[in-house]
């Protein structure tokens, strides 16, 4: 008998759009951030690469902050993300933890998830969101030391206690740089694991963040 599959909704349109926006912004921030950390002179004296890189870095940084705030709102509050919130049911289930670890060790098949993420994915994505929060806060502290009026002036009293907590502006810059390397380490691992899931278990992995659907066996067929 031919095996039939049915589409199952997993990610809303906004979730998918925000995922790709964040992916692009993180790549752009890494590129511009490294130039700001280790600047070099332009061959064209009329072309200020440093100022342009700073403008792009700041603008894209605020875009990442805005998108991340909306993404957190979607995850917590919207009906479309209910399937993502159901992932916590698997997170608190030790049997599912054992099954998913066995899967990644190539010792068994993939367990059926109640939500969009398996426990390991949920921990990873929450960790990435915390990284975004931390790198955004350190970035805002650095921002207030360059732009003293307008938004920078407004944020300075809010960011100053965090700067003191970090031990000064030099440590803030160091933490910002270390967090950047955390993203650099995470990105290839994330791409590999998503690709591995898509190949090992067709209908999941990269496919779902593009189409919003995963495909499961139709038990009624």
CATH assignment of the domain containing 64: 1.20.950.20
pLDDT of residue 103: 85
Query: DSSP character for 211?
Result: H
Q: How many Å apart are CA 22 and CA 137, to the nearest integer?
A: 16
Over residues 161-220, the pLDDT tens digits come to 999 999 999 999 999 999 999 999 999 998 888 888 877 776 666 778 887 777 766 666
* Enclosing domain of residue 169: 5-217
- Residue 215, beta-bridge partner list: 7
H or E segment to which residue 216 belongs: strand 213-217
* Domains held by the chain: number: 1
Residue 27, both tokens: 């790549």
pLDDT of residue 3: 64
pLDDT of residue 32: 94
């Amino acid at each position: 008998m031919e095996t039939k599959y049915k589409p199952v909704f997993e990610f809303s349109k906004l979730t998918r759009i925000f995922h790709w926006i964040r992916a692009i912004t993180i790549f752009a921030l890494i590129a511009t951030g490294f130039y700001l950390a280790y600047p070099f002179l332009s061959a064209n004296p009329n072309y200020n690469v440093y100022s342009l890189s700073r403008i792009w870095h700041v603008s894209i940084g605020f875009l990442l902050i805005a998108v991340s705030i909306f993404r957190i709102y979607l995850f917590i509050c919207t009906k479309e993300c209910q399937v993502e919130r159901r992932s916590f049911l698997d997170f608190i289930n030790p049997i599912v933890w054992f099954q998913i670890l066995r899967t990644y060790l190539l010792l068994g098949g993939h367990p059926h998830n109640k939500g969009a993420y398996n426990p390991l994915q949920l921990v990873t994505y929450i960790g990435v969101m915390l990284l975004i929060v931390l790198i955004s806060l350190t970035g805002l502290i650095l921002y207030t030391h360059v732009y003293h009026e307008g938004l920078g002036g407004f944020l300075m009293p809010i960011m100053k206690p965090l700067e003191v907590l970090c031990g000064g502006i030099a440590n803030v810059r160091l933490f910002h740089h270390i967090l950047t390397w955390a993203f650099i380490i995470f990105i290839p691992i994330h791409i590999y694991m998503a690709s591995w899931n898509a190949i090992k278990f067709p209908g999941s992995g990269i496919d779902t963040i593009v189409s919003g659907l995963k495909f499961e066996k139709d038990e009624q067929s």
